[in-house]
Amino acid sequence: MRIYFAPCGIGLGHVGRSLEVAKYLKLKKPDCKILFSTYSDALIPLKTEGFRFVEAPKFEYWVWPDGTPDPWRTLKWLSGKILGVFLKQLKFEVKQVASFKPDIIFSDSRLSTTIVGWLLGKPVITMLNQFHVVAPGFVHYKILQTLSDIFSFTFLADGWGLSSKILIPDFPPPYSISTLNLRIPPSIKRKIIFVGPILPVKPENLPNQEILRKKFGFDSRPLIYVAVSGPKWERFWLGKKLLKYFSGFPEKYQIIVSLGIRENPNVWRRGNLTVYGWLKERFEVLKACDLVVGRGGHTTLTQTLAYGKPMLLIPTPEQTEQIYNAKSAVKLGVAKVLDQRKLSKDLLLSKIKEIFNDKKYWKNAEKLRKIALNFDCLKTTTNLILSYSKK
């Protein structure tokens, strides 16, 4: 069987979950042939994992060094180019799919590949967590948001509707983290499957919290796991800020920071602060910790809740998906949100104290952990992919 994977290349979330599906698929069917098509940030983990890939034409938006999108510069930059960029992607994907001759295409939020699969008569499984896309930075501008809505409910909706199946790696309603981005058109609801969070390592398959804390050198004091994520420039900016603020944090807390740098496996410890360039055992740390501090990325949120941990979220300013995910987490009673533009050591400590002083956050997170037990995203997704080898 031949499978063509096409994850969005912005950030590491899309390629991360596509990689987990591909690795699980290889375990179930070792002789299957896999080819990835992606771009930008997503290329690094593919090189590390050793999967064959082709570099597709990239699409990106203009951002400031801290990761904040700038809608006006993006519009100016893309003015007159966006159609050309999209047609270039279509041409590239047609050539690659025609050459590789896959039995099925797995597209993670890549509209061009979903359309190409339909054009070439290939079954397409699309994984995504956004139907209603409010373009980054547009949320404060009514005219731009209206244009974004029109685009979402016409072109995008029709494009996603060309998929054979659409998988949403989230909790089912009313517990979905991506609720505000899931205004699904009635015409394609029959194709939707909620498959639950992507969990390559399940919490019930790991040792208990006490054993894991001892493994990493932590005691019974509250343990805070800080997960720095996002595109490279954004990880650098946020990581530098958080290291500064968590240095010298009260001794009653233990902090472990992962900077998200795959090329840097180094670890250093200073007092109650432990820093990893890249944390391979992140699921073990996720189970060992009490609280997670991070962005509002969909995969991070759903995996954290599947482990029953509350969160302090610092969404990237103007990054509408993260902002909406964070709003959903707050509504579910599992998170507090801190505005990055007001980020300081005192405010960070204050928010963390508020969470630890209110047990409702752990109670609500535990409820979602139990819901997650009813799902096996990787198994469901893989079985669906393999079902097309018999058609």
Vertex 102 angle, CA 21 and 8, to 5°: 50
User: Tokens for 5?
Assistant: 């994977």
What is the longest distance spanned by two Cα atoms in the chain?
A: 61
Global pTM value = 0.89
Whether 81 shows a pLDDT value over 90: the answer reads: no
Q: Cα–Cα distance between 389 and 123 in angstroms, integer? A: 11
Q: Which domains does the chain have, with CATH numbers?
A: 2-196+375-390 (3.40.50.2000), 203-372 (3.40.50.2000)
What pLDDT digit, counting tens, does each position of 24-48 carry?
Answer: 999 999 999 999 999 988 998 999 8
- At 370 the pLDDT is 97
Q: Cα–Cα distance between 281 and 344 in angstroms, integer? A: 29
Q: Cα–Cα distance between 312 and 245 in angstroms, integer? A: 14
Whether 146 shows a pLDDT value over 90: the answer reads: no
- At 229 the pLDDT is 86
Share of the chain above pLDDT 90, in %: 70
Q: Which whole number is the average pLDDT over 171-200? A: 91
Report residue 21's pLDDT band, with 50, 70 and 90 as the boundaries: very high
Q: Cα–Cα distance between 85 and 58 in angstroms, integer? A: 8
- At 318 the pLDDT is 79
Ranking 261-270, 310-319, 327-336 by mean pLDDT, the lowest is 261-270
Q: Which of 290, 264, 274 is nearest to 353 (CA)?
A: 290
- At 155 the pLDDT is 60
What pLDDT digit, counting tens, does each position of 227-262 carry?
Answer: 998 777 788 889 999 999 999 899 999 999 999 887
What pLDDT digit, counting tens, does each position of 251-310 carry?
Answer: 999 999 999 887 777 899 999 999 999 899 999 999 999 999 999 999 999 999 999 999
Whether 172 shows a pLDDT value over 80: the answer reads: yes
What is the DSSP secondary-structure string of 181-237? G----GGGGGGEEE-----SS-GGGS--HHHHHHHTT--SS-EEEEE--SSHHHHHH
- At 388 the pLDDT is 87
What pLDDT digit, counting tens, does each position of 202-219 carry?
Answer: 999 999 999 999 999 999
- At 196 the pLDDT is 97
- Cβ-Cβ contacts under 8 Å for 230 (sequence gap 6 or more): 11, 12, 67, 238, 260, 295, 297, 316
Crossing angle for the helix pair 111-119 and 82-100, nearest 10 degrees? 50
Q: What is the mean pLDDT of the chain?
A: 89
Higher pLDDT, 139 or 17: 17
